[in-house]
Amino acid sequence: MISNRQKLILKAIIEIYVQTGEPVGSKVLTDWPYLDYSSATIRYDMQALEELGYLEKTHTSSGRVPSNVGYRYYLENLVTRDSEIDTLFPLIDKVFDRYQNSREIAVKAAIDLLSELTSYTSVALGPNEALTRIKKIDYVSLSDNDAVILIVTDRGNVHSQVFSLDDNVSKDYFKKTVQTLNELLENQYLKDARKILSRVYTEENIIDYMDYQEKIVDAFIGAFTQMSKEDVYLAGLGNMLTQGEIEDPNEMRHLLSMLNRQDVLKVVGHTNKLSFKIGNEAEFMPNNKVTIISVPYAVNEEETGTIAIIGPTRMDYAKVIPLLEYIAKNITKLYKK
């Protein structure tokens, strides 16, 4: 248990350290607006906070820096939203007004803007794939030999993929094949589609031409895999290189590799409330100097998606959190239209 005075000191140290990147000493704190205490009193409380694990002492300075435990306490108990961030909200409003008729483009544009405004990496995760159902599978003929396969989900998302017909296969046969697969997968969860289709290989009674069956099934499996990938969008990945918090090249390569693949879904994960992963709390992260802040947005009464910021533990939390919350609120409005 820390005292109210120690809470104020911890809050000040974190906010000064975020601004300067330099260890914070007692002399700096005596000039802070709400710390009207003597230097000796502040030094005593800084020592107590260090012993409790909220602060760390560096080897190069007599000042202190926040520990990950200190950041956690700050985020759960002390952080306040920067009221000046309200001046940035019209920029966000402009994005959603411009793309109000295209949900996917609006979300991506907002995530791009979020990365630009914060200089961190931003992420959008679509609703959890586990709850997505296939509503319909159909096709549109383009020519004698080409067609577009359409996969529609219960969320109204449509995935299209061009498919070329073999010369020895008629359009009627292809139509029958698509109808059969539609009956097979209608109302099935997207996450189960690949497994169901894989079983089709062994059911000779479904499609006569086994070689061609394999080609069609492979096309559908590829489509479902792509649909899963499209539920993850990243912006500002290169911002990780400019933060300077991760100095080890191998750790940076590992981090960029994790974020540049579908693994980002495992790293960020879905959330149903404002949540934080600090340092090693974020599974698969290469070191303890990265923080992930996540905020949910509502798709409907049962389902949520997630937007997140990935950046250094020395992050401008007072700025980032209200931006995330405001964008999530606007995405929720899109799904209600």
Among 59-73, 163-177, 272-286, which is the least confidently predicted range? Answer: 163-177
Number of separate helices (H) and strands (E) present in the chain: 13, 10
- The answer to pTM > 0.75 is no
| Residue count of the chain | 337
**pLDDT band with cut points at 50, 70 and 90 for residue 287:** low
The band of 175, judged by pLDDT with boundaries at 50, 70 and 90, is confident
Chain mean pLDDT for the chain: 81
Give residue-wise pLDDT tens across range 33-77: 888 888 899 999 999 999 999 999 877 667 899 999 999 999 999
- Identify whether the C-beta of residue 118 lies closer than 8 Å to the C-beta of residue 111: no
As a whole number of angstroms, the distance between CA 231 and CA 144 comes to 33
According to DSSP, the residues that pair with 151 across neighbouring strands are 137, 159
Most confident of 51-65, 94-108, 204-218: 94-108
Which tens digit of pLDDT belongs to each residue from 115-163? Answer: 999 989 899 988 766 567 888 888 888 877 788 888 888 766 777 777 7
* Single-letter amino acid code for the residue at 265: L
Rounded to whole angstroms, the Cα distance separating 312 from 287 reads 11
Strands 134-141 and 146-153: antiparallel
Q: Tell me, what's the pLDDT at 212?
A: 57
Instruction: State whether residue 63 is helix, strand or coil.
Output: coil
Angle formed by the axes of helices 171-185 and 210-229, nearest 10°: 50
pLDDT bucket at 209, cuts 50 / 70 / 90: very low
Residue with tokens 């120690």: 6
C-alpha distances out from residue 321 to 76, 292, 294, Å: 12, 11, 9
Lowest mean pLDDT among 5-9, 93-97, 139-143, 199-203: 199-203
221: pLDDT confidence band, cut at 50, 70 and 90? Answer: low
* DSSP string across 185-235: HTT-BHHHHHHHHHHHTT-TTT-S-HHHHHHHHHHHHHHHHHHHHTTEEEE
Q: In order of start, what are the domains of the chain with their CATH numbers?
A: 4-78 (1.10.10.10), 84-127+232-336 (3.30.450.40), 130-229 (3.30.390.10)
